[in-house]
Every structure is written in C-alpha cells, then in structure tokens.
Structure 1
Amino acid sequence: MSELNPIESEFATSEDAAAYDAWFRAKVERAMTSDAPSIPHAEVMAMAQDILDKYKPR
C-alpha cells in the first residue's frame, strides 16, 4: 500500500484512490445507461438557484 501526499491527493493510499475511481466509473456508467427520464437543464439550474438563494447572506 503506497501512501499519497495530501497536497496531491485527497486519498490516503493509492488503493483508496483506485477504489474510489472504480466506484465513480461504475456510477457514471449506470447513469449513462439508465432509462430514467432526464431533468431538463433549465429545471436543474432553477433548483440550484433555489439552493443558492436559501444560503445567500442578507
């Protein structure tokens, strides 16, 4: 197990980084092959703006 420099990586070891990479790639693959309906861009942006507005300093 090789340790990684915290300045260069958020993972403690190269094995942790590889495990995360495999998990993330599988998640992206599932999303890309999903038959679930997509959310229109404008709707996603409106939801994001609602979140930003909620935490906006007054």
Structure 2
Amino acid sequence: MTKLTPIESEFATTEDAEAYDAWFRATIEARMLSKTPGIPHDEAMARMQAIIDRPKKA
C-alpha cells in the first residue's frame, strides 16, 4: 500500500485510487452499453441550474 499526499492525489492510497478508477470505468461502460435513452443536454443543464439556484440551507 502506497500512501499518497494531498498534493499527489485526492485519495489516501494508490489502492483507493485504483478502486475508484475501476468503479468509475465500470459505471461509464455500463451507461454506454445501456439501451435507455439519455437526458438531452438542455434538460440536464436546466436541472443543474435549478440545483445551483436553490437557496442554501444554513
């Protein structure tokens, strides 16, 4: 197990980084192989803007 510093990586160890990378790649591959329709860009942007515009809870 190789420890990483915050300057090198957002992960504490190389194993953490590799586990995240494997999860991320599997998630993207599954989505690319999925037959369900995606969200149109305009709709995705509107959803994100609604989140940004929400008032922050104190």
List structure 1 segments (4+ residues) > 2 angstroms apart after TM superposition: none
Q: Are positions 1:38 and 2:20 aligned together?
A: no
Structure 2 gaps, min length 5: none
Aligned to 1:51: 51
The count of aligned residue pairs is 56
Q: Are positions 1:22 and 2:22 aligned together?
A: yes
User: Matched residues in 2 for 1:7 and 1:35: separation?
Assistant: 40
29-38 or 46-55, which deviates more: 46-55
Question: What is the Cα-based RMSD across aligned positions, in Å?
Answer: 1.3
Q: Deviations over 1:5-42 (max 9, x none)?
A: 11111111111111111111000100111111111111
Identity percentage over the alignment? 62
- TM-score, with length taken from structure 1: 0.84
User: Matched residues in 1 for 2:3 and 2:44: separation?
Assistant: 38
